[in-house]
Amino acid sequence: METRIGAISILVEDPESAEALNAVLHEYAGCILGRMGIPYREKGVNIICVAVDAPTDTINALTGKIGRLAGVSAKAVYSRGTSAQN
């Protein structure tokens, strides 16, 4: 199956959504390469970047689920090429 490398940028403005966000990320743990979080306390926002390697549909589904959480927004960017996943 062909996959793409991508990065999902997430802004969390409602800390009450953190548990639900972590549940969604756990559901897609198999395609997550890593994640980095930066708490921006002065603005009350948490910035998270998640690196993924998955089919485009899977990345879109993950980004959509995250973006539907209250107080959370997400956008994905993709590599130009695809790779075969073993």
Say if residues 21 and 72 touch (Cβ distance below 8 Å): yes
- The number of distinct structural domains making up the chain is 1
- Top-confidence residue, 21 or 80: 21
pTM of the model: 0.90
Q: What is the pLDDT of residues 19-76, one digit of tens each?
A: 999 999 999 999 999 999 999 999 999 999 999 999 999 999 999 999 999 999 999 9
Name the residue range of residue 13's domain. Answer: 2-80
Inside any domain, residue 85: no
Burial 33-67 (b: 16+ CB within 10 A, else e): eeeeeeeeeeeeebebebebbbeeebbeebbebbe
Give the CATH number of the domain where residue 12 resides.
Answer: 3.30.70.1150
Residue with tokens 């959480």: 69
Domain assignment of residue 27, yes or no: yes
Give the 3-state secondary structure of residue 61: helix
- Report if residue 61 sits inside a domain: yes
Q: Is the pLDDT at 84 greater than 90, yes or no?
A: no
Phi, psi of 22 (to 5 degrees): -65, -35
Position 86 in a domain: no
